[in-house]
Amino acid sequence: MGFPAQRLRRLRTNESIRGLVRENHLSAGNFVLPLFAVPGSKVRREIAALPGNYQLSIDCLVEEAVEARALGIPAILLFGVPQARDELGSGSYAEDGIVQEAVRAVKHAVPGILVITDVCACEYMTNGHCGIMKDGYLDNDLSLDLMSKIALSHAEAGSDMVAPAAMLDGQIQAIRKTLDAHGFHNLPIMAYSAKFASSLYDPFFKEGTQSVVSFGDKRTHQMDFFNSDEAMREIALDIEEGADIVMVKPALFYLDIVYRAKQEFQMPLAVYDVSGEYAMIDAAARMGRLDRDAIMLEALSCMKRAGADFIITYFAKRAAELLRSHEQLASSHVEDKAPEPRLATVR
């Protein structure tokens, strides 16, 4: 039965009704905040392409984690920008490496926050690549040992979850075996399972970590953005190898992949709202073309609607602030409108 018996606008009459029938909900608990750790003290250097996000010395990074937790954000994702780099990426697994030290500091100061660590070597390599290069090509199997050493060093430092990002064949299996062999059976792995070779990463590498590749590119291991069936194969293999959470990266341009992944696997699913997606919205807002906050919340809501269980995003703090304000406003509005309670008459 259609119109006039059915009028779908009846359920859009006001915010209370719209909220009551809303199919998906966004909250601060859905966000993971990426943070960049750098050497030094009292360093808070804004990343030009990501306004509101910073390279942080560990003391300042701890303060950022405290603030994120106070906003209801449950987790951070740590990246390291080391003092020195070499051809073997040795700083990536050093006991006193920048990420390892940051993990210890955050876990000590903010025990309630979940610390996830990015497992990759590109920030620590002089050439900016994600593993061991041999004759100009990323050697997959040689690099598996490096990924395992990085993940183990993070676990020993106190990481709550490791996130392998290199898109190497067999990396989840190699890391799982290493962690289990050293007693870290309960440490979860979040796999960058469907990570596409995207230009949307440029602000991250050029300004966030300063780890742009010195030759070649990453298309031999990151996925061709024309493909979607291949993404499902990548996810299936990571699950088979022991991944606890799978990820699609980037997010906003790849919502078809997000939807397929959730429908086909019903696994905990993360998306990474990457630096280029953030930069585009922020730049358009600065030019007066878009309402930054409105578009931000719309974009994040669309990721959730497509199937993401949680979202890694540089918008995390601002979005959490807005959502809290909306909740407080809605609560005060309900209180203002509530009728005076009437006393029951005793008969």
Q: Which residues are catalytic?
A: 195, 249
Q: What is the DSSP string of 230-250?
A: HHHHHHHHHHHHT-SEEEEES
Residue with tokens 């730049």: 283
How far is Cα 100 from Cα 31, in angstroms, rounded to an integer?
Answer: 23
Both structure tokens of 63 = 């303060």
User: Per DSSP, which regions of 18-94 are E strands?
Assistant: 31-38, 44-46, 54-57, 75-80
Buried b (16+ CB within 10 A) or exposed e, 107-124: beebeebbbbbbbbbbbb
Report whether 125 contacts 85 (CB < 8 A).
yes
How far is Cα 308 from Cα 272, in angstroms, rounded to an integer?
Answer: 10
Strands 54-57 and 133-134: unpaired
Q: What is the DSSP string of 136-195?
A: TEE-HHHHHHHHHHHHHHHHHHT-SEEEE-S--TTHHHHHHHHHHHTT-TT--BEEEEEE
